[in-house]
Amino acid sequence: MAGGLKPRRFGGLYVAEHRLKVMRGYLQTMVATGIGTPLLYLYALGVGLATLVDANMANGGSGGSEVSYLIFVAPALLCSAAMTTATEEFSYPIMLGFKWNPTFFGMNAAPLQGGQIINGVTYAVIVRLVAQSIVYYLFMLLFGAIPGPFGWLVIVVGVLTGMSLGALLMAYATHLKEDKGQFNYIMRFGVIPLTLFSGTFFPLSTLPVWLHWIGWISPLWHGTELSRVLSYGYQEPAWLSVVHVAYLVLLIVVGWWLARRLAVKRLNR
């Protein structure tokens, strides 16, 4: 009986250890994108495009915000990057483990359980999201994009944003028996439009009212708005900030719970 004790207690951590070891094989790519993405985006949008936007605002343009475009866009870019990484980690790697290189079945043949496998995969992705968001945050500091004292909390919001969409995607990937381009479809017609219409590059209020619903259902919009509150004190009612947190947490809980259930079902054949 003793042999089951440690796996029951720490199974999720063993899976995370495995996944991080696999990730180490891609460390160079991860570091390159982890550093390259904030550098390029902050420079291109926050510095380059910002000259146009800020000049327009100075000339009395409408729809902008009370801070420079760099400060406005930077927290949104961090959240968006986290979401992209989560999409990457919770799609193909999940299919890989269940189907193409069914290591999850190997884990389950050892003492690990379906829920622990999902937990472990998630822990490892959280580690990556935290590391990536910290690097992003440091670049934001470097560019002078974080004026507020609570700016560091954008790291937490970034992870929550990535995880909220990621957990749902993980549940979907756990359920999916065959990939006939669904992930590609989700990326092109889900994640990219969400990025464009979630108040990332311009406030949601500049869109026609009938398009605002995209923002309301988009975890990226909730994450972005929340990170702006923390980063530069963007003004919104306190209850709305609470809604942002609750919405992101709700998506994570639902996605995670669903993925665990589906994994148990899929492994028990």
Partner 1 sequence: MPSPDTLSSTANNAVISASNLTKKYKDFAAVDGISFDIAPGESFGFLGPNGAGKSTTMRMIGAVSTRTSGDLSVVGLDPNQFGPEIRSQLGVVPQEDNLDSELKVRDNLIVYGRYFGLPHSYLGPKADELLEFAQLGEKAKSRVDDLSGGMKRRLTIARALINNPRILMLDEPTTGLDPQARHILWDRLFRLKEQGTTLVLTTHYMDEAEQLCDRLVVIDKGTIMAEGSPSSLIKKYSTREVLELRFGSDRNADVAQQVEPLGERIEVLPDRILVYSDNGEVVLQKVTDLGLNPLTSLVRRSSLEDVFLRLTGRSLIE
Footprint of partner 1 (CB under 8 A): 1, 3-8, 10-11, 14-15, 17-18, 21-22, 25, 101-103, 105-113, 267-269
Q: How far is the CB of 24 from partner 1 (least distance, A)?
A: 10
Tell me whether residue 248 or residue 267 sits nearer to partner 1 (CB atom).
267
Tell me whether residue 109 or residue 209 sits nearer to partner 1 (CB atom).
109
Contact status, residue 256 vs residue 167, Cβ threshold 8 Å: yes
Tell me whether residue 17 or residue 54 sits nearer to partner 1 (CB atom).
17
SS3 content of the chain, % helix, strand, coil (to 5): 80, 0, 20
Gap between the Cα atoms of 95 and 261, Å rounded: 16
Q: How far is the CB of 114 from partner 1 (least distance, A)?
A: 10
Q: How far is the CB of 101 from partner 1 (least distance, A)?
A: 5
Tell me whether residue 36 or residue 106 sits nearer to partner 1 (CB atom).
106
Q: How far is the CB of 111 from partner 1 (least distance, A)?
A: 4
Q: How far is the CB of 15 from partner 1 (least distance, A)?
A: 8
Q: How far is the CB of 182 from partner 1 (least distance, A)?
A: 22
Tell me whether residue 3 or residue 149 sits nearer to partner 1 (CB atom).
3
Q: Which amino acid is at 127?
A: V
Instruction: Return the DSSP state at 174.
Output: H
Nearest to 30, CA basis, from 74, 84, 69, 70: 84
Question: Treating both helix axes as pointing N-terminal to C-terminal, what angle do 114-142 and 154-175 enclose, rounded to 10 degrees?
Answer: 150
**Is 67 in a helix, a strand, or coil?**
coil
Gap between the Cα atoms of 87 and 104, Å rounded: 19
Burial 218-251 (b: 16+ CB within 10 A, else e): bbbbbbbbbbbbbbbebeeeeeebebbeebbeeb
Q: How far is the CB of 223 from partner 1 (least distance, A)?
A: 30
Token digits of residue 235:
């003004």
Token digits of residue 110:
């050892």
Tell me whether residue 112 or residue 230 sits nearer to partner 1 (CB atom).
112
- The structure tokens 């054949």 sit at 269
Gap between the Cα atoms of 195 and 42, Å rounded: 16
Tell me whether residue 114 or residue 219 sits nearer to partner 1 (CB atom).
114
